[in-house]
Structure 1
Amino acid sequence: MSNIWDVIWTFFWIFAFVAYLMILFSVISDIFRDHKLNGWLKALWIIFLVWVPFLTALVYLIARGRSMAERAAAAQQRAQHAAESYIKDVAGTSTADEIAKAKALLDSGAISADEFAALKAKALA
């Protein structure tokens, strides 16, 4: 019966280790992503992450967690914008094409004037 508990305990420690590695890599990537930190502070954080990794990661998440989330959200937004512009470039549709399609939908009665205005504003954005 103790064999099953050994398996459960092993799975718990594997889960904890993988979670810790994810946090560690997130902290390291955020340190290098932050342009407000100078090189010395980045080096200091990395040194502490090497020598006292668990405590340093915990302190970093508490002290800089909010700005870490803001930087991650900004990076995600930049990636989303880049993907959208790439798709538009590959698809070959221009702003004028999108407005013309919306106008055709308005003329056919498929959309209302308010919906046309919303589509036009989105195309021009």
Structure 2
Amino acid sequence: MDYPLLNAFWTMLWFFLWILWIMLLFHVFRDIIRDDSLSGWAKTGWLVLCVILPFIGVFVYFVARGRGMGERDRHRVEQQQQEFRSYVREAAATPGTSEELARIAELRNDGDLTVEEYERAKAKILA
């Protein structure tokens, strides 16, 4: 049970570096797979290089395509935010059920709709 504090520190350091390396490797894999500018063969080549020679493959990938990784991530986030905003605008623009029911009730009270037309419209809205 003799395990000095310094050895525990080094063990923890290596463990966290190993976890960091795995996260970095998956980040590179994700970037390779999601990159639309690479052909299928180029993706296969990068993945094979990163799997067979992981240290060299990842470092070469960062040197060759590292700047583009951040730009692609930023572009993907901006695109997702834009899609979300457009979805929210569309959802807010469509009237809800209560607004439609109030509108047809007002039309019925004004005499523009008969009772049968009102019931059909109400059933259609609630369906």
Specify the alignment match of 1:80 in structure 2: 81
Structure 2 residues not aligned, in runs of 5+: 95-127
> What TM-score do you get using the length of structure 1 for normalisation?
0.66
Aligned to 1:30: 31
Deviation at 1:88, TM superposition (A): 3.3
How far has the Cα of 1:2 moved from its partner?
Answer: 5.3
Greater Rg over alpha carbons, structure = 2
Tell me the secondary structure at the aligned position of residue 36 of structure 1: coil
- Structure 1 residue ranges without an equivalent (≥5): 95-125
The code of the aligned residue for 2:46 comes to W
Superposition map of 1:37-116 within 5 A: 37-90=38-91, 92=92
Q: Provide the TM-score with structure 2 as the length reference.
A: 0.65
Q: Which stretch of the first structure deviates more once superposed, 79-88 or 12-21?
A: 79-88
Q: Give the fraction of aligned pairs with identical amino acids, expressed as a percent.
A: 34
Distance, in Å, in 1 between the alignment partners of 2:89 and 2:14 is: 46
Query: What secondary structure sits across from 1:40 in the alignment?
Result: helix
Q: Which has the higher contact order (CA 8 A, sep 6+)?
A: 1
Q: Give the root-mean-square deviation of aligned CA atoms.
A: 1.9
